[in-house]
Structure 1
């Protein structure tokens, strides 16, 4: 009965309305996975930062509009000069008396106590850096390199999630096969129990034989339930990866995976190594950036505008322009620039060392995984023979029990051996698949 229930469940999963293929799941994970989405947004941020860094060299154009009112003597006189409306009367010449011999003692009210005046000033200013010692160029290069780093990170996340999806599909397929085998074992134990009960009724078996086989059946049922729980968890994890509910999959993924990629190709395609190399390049750019602090900074500006006591009144009559250059060259800052340059050089040496370490680590990781893969391949071949042999031995002992040539305990032992072999085979197959997927991640396989 239980084997029928299990088979029905498997068929329901295999042909359910929401069944998902591996190809469709890979496309969904690339589009819907939340971690990949976050990595894409990081990539967009770095692209915008690159655009910001690139725009610095084009200078800036600013429009300034002022609306002021003051009765401060200096401000009022300045406002009149700015709008080209100053007169001799503003200097107090009205109070000048030619009969007064002490002209210098006169304190002109028009100059010191002027009436309040408005100033509406409209200016457009364009400033542009002419020479920065390479600072702007290095900022642009570093922003571009950081953008490339974010792209590598996004691709790394994508490869990781694709591998996890494939791993889930293959694990589910192996688990279904495992459930099928457990179902057959449960069916055989149920038949054995029926034989034991029949033989006990005829006086050819003991009550303890029935209890032993019932205990074993309960053990197998526990393993079946355990496998079904693991299957449910795998579907939950697959739903998490795809950010949508997945209840069943379609396709057969029980065939053994194979991966034959040369070591050099793996190293050339590995994104962890590319990221380390890119970080080294960024650190080298930072050295050049720090060196620019020892060079002068030269800029130019052009300003054009008009001022009056009324807004936009006779603009052309009161307009004015200013052009200029500025050079700034820091000659001493307590040694901070020198320390910053030395820090950048040490950082570059560290990044170069980390790049070499990343490559050596990946080489060791690949060789370790390849060794494990060969070990699992040998173990799987051996376990397949063991499963076949243990099943044959179990069936043989079942027949011997019916002929009273073996005890129920011996039959249960042989059945346990067969079950143990099945469990070990599934573990070895899962372990080998895990190694294959880890190698695929290293080689960045199937990103597209």
Structure 2
């Protein structure tokens, strides 16, 4: 029974998936799917989460660290054995050879001069040759930095800036993928418009083909005229076939971007509108500029990190421990504590600190120069793109007029062919010019669209 329900659920889900995949989506819907499903965008989000964890790890340094340390040792070394006993508060005078001392002292008092000499010359057997002893020490140790010359706070700011940088990189990935998706939709619209225009021409050729056959039947045309028409018809069919293949490739690419199968889309108008955004707004929104400014902030804090070596470092620590020759044996009786603080201040290291500070400052100045260069470079690129768009717009206006003229000339030559005033070769030449103008117009509109996309891309997707 469970298997039956599972099969029904899988079949239902599969049918729904096919239904969704076959639905025609518009550009806005595609962009929303892109933001949630694109694999590169997901990867960029993981980068942000990793950077956030690095920032948390840096902030954690303020709170110090607490370690539990468990030591186990066994030794018959005299120093170790005595130290073990002393650590576990079990050392006694017997460890110093008190029994031997008392024995020699009594003999000395009885007149044994050799015993008097051994009181201070014989090494104590228990102290120098102890039996091997086990040692278990359990310790909790807490260390906390009190002052680090602003190094930790500087690293905190750096890691926060790195996180911001990762977010900007994700925005850049999103911007790039939206750019590619929008371009694919407009390319599809342009292809469909070109196919429609070529289809009209194909119908005209088919009409011309039928007319030529009729004229051959009545002796007003030659077979070579029909061959020319058929050759041109094959040429147009080949162009339409190539464009349909390009449409299929675009569907594959859109599916890749959205990370799901897409078989139908609602195309926008194939010609884009010029975005109404000023140069200053583009520069302010530009992600490369924002990334450069964030990198500049990181370099500024790196100067602070370098300068922290001029300050003393102050830290505190506290520990509690217990030790015995068995694990946690008489732990309460053998416990101990230690608290303290340490100040470390490097007075002289051959000028290395000042060299590192100067290097950091130079890196900061270099980055500052690069930011200014990036601003100027973006401004130059904006001016270049706007100039190219204006040039393409003039070309499009001219090509449209030329296409209208080519259409009229073809119609004129077709009518004149019926009257045997021109040859079929002349008609075919004029039709070739007509097709050439269509392809030139398509190519120029596509180039204009690309430059508008590039302008929007610089403006962080603003339209």
Distance 2:143 2:225 in 1: 98
- 1:159–1:446: 8 Å Cα contact kept in structure 2? no
Taking the aligned partners of 1:286 and 1:252, their CA distance within structure 2 comes to 49
Which residue of structure 1 lines up, in the alignment, with residue 423 of structure 2?
A: 407
Deviation at 1:255, TM superposition (A): 4.8
Q: Is the 8 A contact 1:121 1:307 kept in 2?
A: yes
The corresponding residue for 1:234 is 250
Which of these residues, 228, 250, 259, is aligned with residue 266 of structure 2?
250
2:88 corresponds to? 83
Shift of 1:361: 0.8
TM-score by length of 2: 0.90
Q: Look up the match of 2:31.
A: 26
More divergent stretch after superposition (343-352 vs 246-255): 246-255
Residue 57 (structure 1) shift: 1.4
Distance between the aligned counterparts of 1:139 and 1:34, measured in 2?
31
Instruction: Confirm whether residue 369 of structure 1 aligns to residue 385 of structure 2.
Output: yes
* Alignment equivalent of 2:452, drawn from 432, 436, 444: 436
Instruction: Give the SS at the match of 1:311.
Output: coil
- The answer to whether the Cα contact below 8 Å between 2:271 and 2:445 also exists between their aligned partners in 1 is no
Determine the C-alpha separation between the residues in 1 that align with 2:334 and 2:402. Answer: 102
Residues 195-274 of structure 1: pairs in structure 2 closer than 5 A? 195-274=211-290
Verify the 8 A CA contact 1:63 1:123 in the aligned structure 2.
Answer: yes
Aligned-residue offset at 1:294: 2.2
Deviation at 1:172, TM superposition (A): 0.4
Determine if contact 2:186/2:267 at 8 Å carries over to the other structure.
Answer: no
Which secondary structure state, in structure 2, belongs to the residue aligned with residue 20 of structure 1? Answer: coil
1:92–1:108 Cα contact (<8 Å) kept = yes
- Are residue 92 (structure 1) and residue 107 (structure 2) matched? no
Moved more, 325-334 or 367-376: 325-334
Q: Does 1:129 align with 2:134?
A: no
> What residue in structure 2 maps to residue 74 of structure 1?
79
Q: CA deviation at 1:16?
A: 8.6
- Give the match for residue 197 of structure 2: 181
Distance in 1 separating the partners of 2:368 and 2:88: 62
Deviations 1:31-67 (A, max 9, x none): 2222222221211121111111111111111111112
How far 1:362 sits from its partner (Å)? 0.8
CA contact (8 A) 1:33 1:243 kept: yes
Matched residues in 2 for 1:16 and 1:349: separation? 53
Post-superposition offset of 1:70: 1.6
Q: What is the CA–CA distance in structure 2 between the aligned matches of 1:190 and 1:434, rounded to whole Å?
A: 35
Output one character per residue of 1:400-447: Cα deviation in whole Å (capped at 9) or x when no partner.
111112221221121112111111111121111111111111111269
- 2:150 paired with 1:145: no
In structure 2, what is the Cα distance between the partners aligned to 1:214 and 1:16? 39
| Partner residue in 1 for 2:401 | 385
1:248 Cα offset (Å): 2.0
Match of 1:51 in 2: 56
Structure 1 counterpart of 2:3 = none
Give the aligned length.
433
CA distance in 2, matches of 1:426, 1:192: 25
SS of equivalent residue, structure 1 residue 315: coil
Alpha-carbon distance between aligned partners in 2 of 1:118 and 1:256, rounded to the nearest angstrom: 84
Does the CA-based 8 Å contact 1:32-1:242 persist in structure 2?
A: yes
Gapped runs of 5+ residues in structure 1? 1-14
Q: Which residue of 2 aligns with 1:113?
A: 129
Shift of 1:333: 3.3
- Distance in 1 between the 2:425 and 2:157 partners? 76
Match of 2:272, SS state, is coil
What is the alpha-carbon distance in structure 2 between the residues aligned to residue 290 and residue 330 of structure 1? 13
**Contact map agreement 1:169 1:253 (CA 8 A) in 2:** no
Correspondence for 1:164 among 180, 193, 198: 180
Structure 1 residues 313-352: aligned runs within 5 Å:
313-352=329-368
The question of whether the paired residues in 2 share the 8 Å contact of 1:296 and 1:328 is answered with: yes
Cα deviations by residue, 1:314-360 (Å, 9 ceiling, x for unpaired): 22211111111112222333433232222211111110011011111
